[in-house]
Amino acid sequence: MHTRQHNVRYMTVTAMLSAVAFALMFFEFSIPFLVPSFIQMDLSELPALIGAFAMGPWYGVIICLIKNLIHLLITTTGGVGELSNFILGAAFVLPAGLIYQRKKTKKNAVIGSVLGAAFMALLSVASNYFIVYPVYTAFLPMDTILAMYQEILPSADTLLKCLVIFNMPFTFVKGMLSVIITLLIYKHISPIIKGVSNK
């Protein structure tokens, strides 16, 4: 009976965190003068990271999957953007959750999160180069895309160079913002997620 209640709680929390993650996808903003305006910052991986810590790494991955499946209903990229978002989100929360799960300490949470953010940032280069930008060029010529980067850095004359100089550190910072917020609030909300007293 206890196991059933536990599973029901985790399913309910997973659904709630997925809904929050989906909602956070709409609260995106650009960072002028640092990256082109079409690159948007959001914190939709935050609920998935919290879920990975509180319930286990695969719950974090499931939250990433559900939010993107819901977003498919209003996609403007034919699902390519959602696929990339899922791949990067999973690459972030899975290693973070796995490392934290081995020994649940704040130190491991920090190490796992930073490594997850770094892995996501590295993977973003391949994801954008092979998945996202080939789709973008169906609507916008590559020369136009490169010109947006070159307004900030004239020497950014190839897509790979743009992704390494701009997108990779941007993605790492995006991940680290979720890490910082998670570390600040996790202790207060984890008892609610797990259904235990924090006394």
HEC-encoded secondary structure of 76-116: CCCCHHHHHHHHHHHHHHHHHHHHHHHCCCHHHHHHHHHHH
**What span, in angstroms and rounded, lies between the C-alpha atoms of 165 and 104?**
34
pLDDT at 1: 44
- Which residues on adjacent β-strands are paired with residue 41? 29
> What tens digit of pLDDT does each residue of 103-115 get?
999 999 999 999 9
- Residue 197 pLDDT > 90: no
* Per-residue pLDDT tens over the stretch 114-156: 999 999 999 999 999 998 899 888 888 999 999 999 999 999 9
pLDDT > 70: what percent of the chain? 94
Q: Which pLDDT belongs to residue 37?
A: 86
Return d(Cα 93, Cα 166) in angstroms, integer. Answer: 22
DSSP, res 41: B
Q: For residue 108, what are its two tokens? A: 């491991």
Closest CA to 90 of 126, 45, 135, 56: 45
Query: Which amino acid would we find at residue 185?
Result: I
CA distance between the termini of the chain: 24
> What average pLDDT does the structure give for the chain?
91
Averaged pLDDT for residues 18-29? 94
pLDDT of residue 194: 73
Least Cα distance to 120 among 185, 176, 42 occurs for 176
In order of their start, the domains of the chain are 2-24+43-192 (1.10.1760.20)
| Percent of the chain clearing pLDDT 90 (strictly above) | 74
Q: Give the Cα separation of 145 and 164 in Å (integer).
A: 15
Is the pLDDT confidence value at 6 over 70? Answer: no
